[in-house]
Amino acid sequence: MTFAAIVVAAGSGSRAGGDKQWRPLGGRPVVRWSVEALLKAGAEEVIVVVAADGLDRAAEALGGLEGWRAVAGGAERADSVRAGLAELTGVADRPVLVHDAARPLLSADVIARLLEALPGADGAIAALPVSDTLKRGADRIEGTVDRSGLWRAQTPQAFRADRLIAAYAVRPEGSAPTDEAAVVERDGGVVRLVQGDPRLMKLTYPEDFAMAEALIPRQTRVGQGFDAHRWGPGEEVWLCGVSIPHDQTLIGHSDADAGLHALTDAVLGAMGDGDIGDHFPPTDPKWKGAASEQFLIHAVERLTARGGRLVNVDVTLICERPKVKPHREAMRERLAEILHLPRDAVSVKATTMERMGFTGREEGLAASALATIELPA
């Protein structure tokens, strides 16, 4: 079924500390989640209603998406919805879904349920039955409210466009309606209740962001990295971010910390984001003698920008000498610091090759690493 959508994002978000629609959630601006979900579900046009000074921010937050346009809203939510309705094009009896940008975790299932429920009614809204006992009062209980038949209204709320426009055209005295269903009910319309979704929670208070982050569906991925460097004359070697006195050093364009290089590749690998050479070409003089920590930090920053997080890392150093064990805890501590991980999520191990191969002959040292990450699905 074809439909249009209005995403209202013109509020000030004062209870959340301001500007909640532009804040990142799982690596994407809050407003982008719903616009993407509606476009993916087949919305022919999505009108995004923003504050008068928010048009540039909308362009930035929704860059790369097609099928939406922004329009300035008003002082009350109802004014913003009216501004969105005025912008609609297309057939008058087409369904329109009105949705709060502040409810980012919108699923295709909820959209489908609303569109299925609409024929034969004036509207349908996503809602959840009240499941807690309800009390009335201020600092002490004045009564217990019967919760049977009570629902918590969510958005989207779906209507035939012409029906909603007609209902909003009536402007009775009194406080502004807080949702579309109230407007259509007041106008004598029949509005159906459709099963909502707890994940459609409205971001209202600062603490709601942590809750929403936890509700984002994530996929777990594993990346692997391997690196080797040749031994040469020197007095110290850098391994996993720690300097170890030694009678040789590892030769490389940077500080040749093979442990950090393998780990950087493991993080990039888990993201499908190329390898360390793509991001820090060895031909670039900028990286000559560079501390390899910055390569790993860069990889983790790219992960964070995509809304991802590291779960654990595991590095194996392969060499006959130096003995790694005396430095292992310092390496774990340094990696835990760089990666903002608890120590028990960081493992550093070492093995010899029993004098076999290039590490056994002490021509070079090798390192292999695994990284587990979580990315928004």
Ligand X SMILES: C[C@](O)(CO)[C@H](O)COP(=O)(O)O
Ligand Y SMILES: Nc1ccn([C@@H]2O[C@H](COP(=O)(O)OP(=O)(O)OP(=O)(O)O)[C@@H](O)[C@H]2O)c(=O)n1
Annotated binding residues, written as ranges, equal 227-229, 253-254, 261, 275-277, 351-354, 358, 361
Count residues binding ligand Y (CB under 6 A): 22
From ligand X, ligand Y, none, which one binds at residue 10 (CB under 5 to 8 Å depending on kind)? Answer: ligand Y
Does residue 302 belong to the site contacting ligand Y (CB under 6 A)? no
From ligand Y, ligand X, none, which one binds at residue 39 (CB under 5 to 8 Å depending on kind)? Answer: none
Strand partners, 230: 251, 364
Smaller CB distance to ligand X: residue 77 or 82?
Answer: 77
**Nearest alpha-carbon partner for 132 in 148, 111, 115:** 148
Smaller CB distance to ligand X: residue 118 or 303?
Answer: 118
The neighbour count for residue 346, using CB atoms within 10 Å, is 23
From ligand Y, ligand X, none, which one binds at residue 153 (CB under 5 to 8 Å depending on kind)? Answer: ligand X
CA separation for the pair 363, 232 (Å, rounded): 9
| Residue 50 beta carbon to ligand Y: minimum distance, rounded to whole angstroms | 8
Question: For ligand Y, which residue of 5, 10, 25, 127 counts as binding (CB under 6 A)?
Answer: 10
3-state secondary structure of 372: strand
Which residues within the stretch 93-152 sit at the binding site for ligand Y (CB under 6 A)? Answer: 100-102
CA separation for the pair 100, 31 (Å, rounded): 9
Known binding-site residue numbers for a divalent metal cation? 227, 229, 261
CA separation for the pair 202, 205 (Å, rounded): 9
Does residue 156 belong to the site contacting ligand Y (CB under 6 A)? no
CA separation for the pair 160, 173 (Å, rounded): 25
3-state secondary structure of 199: helix
Which residues within the stretch 15-54 sit at the binding site for ligand Y (CB under 6 A)? Answer: 15-16, 21, 49
Smaller CB distance to ligand X: residue 177 or 252?
Answer: 177
Smaller CB distance to ligand Y: residue 79 or 162?
Answer: 79
Instruction: List the structure tokens of 45.
Output: 């046009």
Question: Which 8-state DSSP code applies to residue 99?
Answer: E
Smaller CB distance to ligand Y: residue 75 or 305?
Answer: 75
| Helix extents (H) in the chain | 30-40, 55-61, 77-87, 108-117, 161-169, 180-186, 208-215, 258-271, 276-279, 293-305, 328-339, 357-360
161-169 vs 77-87: helix axis angle to the nearest 10? 130
Does residue 154 belong to the site contacting ligand Y (CB under 6 A)? no
From ligand Y, ligand X, none, which one binds at residue 122 (CB under 5 to 8 Å depending on kind)? Answer: none
From ligand Y, ligand X, none, which one binds at residue 76 (CB under 5 to 8 Å depending on kind)? Answer: ligand Y
CA separation for the pair 146, 337 (Å, rounded): 53
Binding site for ligand X (CB under 6 A): 77, 100, 153-155, 178-179, 202
Smaller CB distance to ligand X: residue 202 or 306?
Answer: 202
30-40 vs 108-117: helix axis angle to the nearest 10? 50
From ligand X, ligand Y, none, which one binds at residue 179 (CB under 5 to 8 Å depending on kind)? Answer: ligand X
Contact positions vs ligand Y (CB under 6 A): 8-16, 21, 49, 73-77, 80, 100-102, 202, 204
